[in-house]
């Protein structure tokens, strides 16, 4: 089963940022992946639906805080980013692991 790729964004002045990936990882399943791009932007690879992941993030690390989550699984991507970023997005599902 292929994983969905989601873009997760918090407001720039959010009280909760990606200084530590553990809170987001707690909403993921074993074998899911998380890539923190910046203090308020991250990518998630999971087999969860958008609705299920949204509910788990609200029930866990984010609570009532504001966030934006969208499915970018089939979106064309381009830009100038470090090689590690592109490796994460294009990695086969078998090697994607949840952030520790």
Domains defined for the chain, CATH in brackets: 4-95 (3.30.70)
Neighbours of 94 (CB within 10 A): 7
Model pTM score: 0.74
Q: What is the mean pLDDT of the chain?
A: 78
Tens of pLDDT, residues 42-81:
899 999 999 999 999 888 777 777 888 999 988 777 677 7
How many C-alpha atoms does 78 have within 13 Å on its Cβ side? 1
């Amino acid at each position: 089963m292929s994983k969905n790729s989601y873009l997760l964004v918090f407001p720039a002045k959010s009280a909760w940022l990606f200084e530590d990936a553990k809170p987001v990882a707690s909403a993921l399943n074993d074998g899911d992946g998380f890539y923190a791009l910046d203090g308020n932007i991250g990518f998630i690879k999971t087999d969860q639906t958008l609705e299920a992941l949204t509910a788990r993030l609200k029930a866990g690390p984010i609570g009532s805080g504001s966030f934006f989550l969208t499915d970018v699984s089939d979106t064309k991507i381009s830009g100038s980013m470090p090689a590690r970023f592109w490796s994460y997005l294009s990695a086969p599902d078998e090697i994607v692991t949840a952030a520790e």
